[in-house]
């Protein structure tokens, strides 16, 4: 669920991968893709949340460090490997261009955000809708545009269904997440549990609640989060 807080191990288990070392993982096991993001001040990439949390602009990741190669941060981000196959970035780029050209539906991407060391937030599902190459002043980097979606149909669903308009959703800004985490001491505000935590909206979107204000977000454990949603419905 969007807003769940999980450890690195849980994140890997959820995605059925032994290790999610790479920032960009195209169609893991043939299903949805997974990207890792970080908006912390020392983050290595220029990721950006726009349009009130509904859009994520994500920077492609650099080539792996290799012996005898210049620093990857100084090199253009490669679309192809030396062997001529697409890099992960190249695969995302091809998928985004295919969607733009109308030859396929949008790729479905799960986004995880590192909020503190070892602590990740499940930012939910997104559609990959655009990509381009731009200069960062020194070299060319890839940029990808993802739009948050509320619900995702299963990968086995037909392209036609996938193309239907999906309700837009929102991401809680990183600054808000960090402030809430600190204020609530990394624990459920109701019972003090420190596991299976979730960023909960006190007033939900559907009732006009915002994700931009620290006052409207709180930490709840899975149990109390469920109780809270039951009360609202
Ligand atoms: Zn609780």
**DSSP string across 57-88:** EEEPPPPPP-TT---GGGSPPPSB-TTSSBPH
DSSP-assigned letter for residue 133: E
Closest to 128 in 3D by CA, of 62, 76, 51, 58: 58
Compute the distance from residue 231 Cα to the ligand 1 centre, in Å.
15
Provide the pLDDT for residue 220.
Answer: 94
Q: Quickly list H helices, the chain.
A: 8-14, 88-100, 159-162, 174-183, 222-232
User: What whole-number percentage of the chain has pLDDT above 70?
Assistant: 87
Domain containing residue 71: CATH number: 2.30.280.10
Is pLDDT at 180 greater than 80 in this prediction? Answer: yes
The stretch 195-221 carries a mean pLDDT of 88
Compute the distance from residue 39 Cα to the ligand 1 centre, in Å.
27
Same domain membership, residue 220 and residue 129: no
Run of H or E residues at 111: strand 107-116
Compute the distance from residue 53 Cα to the ligand 1 centre, in Å.
26
Provide the pLDDT for residue 163.
Answer: 45
Residue 69: which pLDDT band, with cuts at 50, 70 and 90?
Answer: low
pLDDT tens per residue, range 113-136? 998 888 899 998 999 999 999 998
pLDDT tens per residue, range 46-66? 888 888 778 999 999 887 766
The stretch 161-172 carries a mean pLDDT of 55
Number of domains in the chain: 2
Same domain membership, residue 117 and residue 177: no
Compute the distance from residue 5 Cα to the ligand 1 centre, in Å.
14
Compute the distance from residue 194 Cα to the ligand 1 centre, in Å.
8
Closest to 205 in 3D by CA, of 50, 55, 52: 52
- Structure-block tokens of residue 88: 């992960």
Domain that holds residue 29: 5-171
Sign of torsion over alpha carbons 193, 198, 200, 204: negative
Provide the pLDDT for residue 150.
Answer: 73
Final residue of a structural domain among 135, 155, 171 = 171
Compute the distance from residue 63 Cα to the ligand 1 centre, in Å.
43
Provide the pLDDT for residue 67.
Answer: 66
Provide the pLDDT for residue 68.
Answer: 66
Q: How far is CA 151 from CA 1, 34, 66, in A?
A: 10, 16, 40
Same domain membership, residue 167 and residue 196: no
C-beta of residue 221 within 8 angstroms of C-beta of residue 190: yes
Same domain membership, residue 214 and residue 118: no
Compute the distance from residue 203 Cα to the ligand 1 centre, in Å.
18
DSSP-assigned letter for residue 173: P
More confident: 222 or 229 = 222
Same domain membership, residue 223 and residue 141: no
């Amino acid at each position: 669920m969007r807003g769940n807080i999980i450890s690195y191990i849980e994140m890997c288990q959820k995605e059925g991968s032994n290790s999610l070392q790479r920032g960009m993982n195209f169609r893991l096991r043939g299903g949805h893709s997974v990207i890792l993001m970080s908006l912390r001040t020392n983050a290595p990439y220029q990721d950006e949340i726009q349009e009130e949390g509904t859009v994520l602009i994500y920077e492609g990741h650099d080539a792996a460090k290799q012996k005898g190669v210049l620093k990857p941060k100084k090199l253009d981000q490669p679309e192809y490997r030396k062997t001529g196959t697409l890099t992960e970035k190249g695969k995302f780029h091809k998928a985004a261009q295919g969607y733009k050209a109308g030859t396929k539906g949008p790729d479905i991407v799960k986004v995880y955000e590192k909020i503190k060391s070892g602590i990740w937030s499940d930012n939910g599902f997104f559609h990959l809708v655009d990509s381009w190459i731009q200069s960062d002043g020194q070299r060319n980097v890839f940029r990808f545009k993802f739009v948050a979606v509320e619900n995702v149909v299963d990968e086995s669903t037909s392209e036609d269904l996938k193309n239907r308009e999906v309700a837009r959703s929102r991401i809680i800004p990183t600054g808000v997440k960090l402030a809430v985490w600190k204020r609530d001491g990394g624990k459920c505000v109701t019972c003090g549990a420190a596991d299976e935590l979730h960023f909960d909206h006190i007033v939900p979107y559907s009732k006009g609640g915002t994700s931009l204000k620290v006052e409207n977000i709180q930490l709840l454990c899975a149990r109390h989060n469920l109780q809270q949603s039951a009360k609202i419905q």
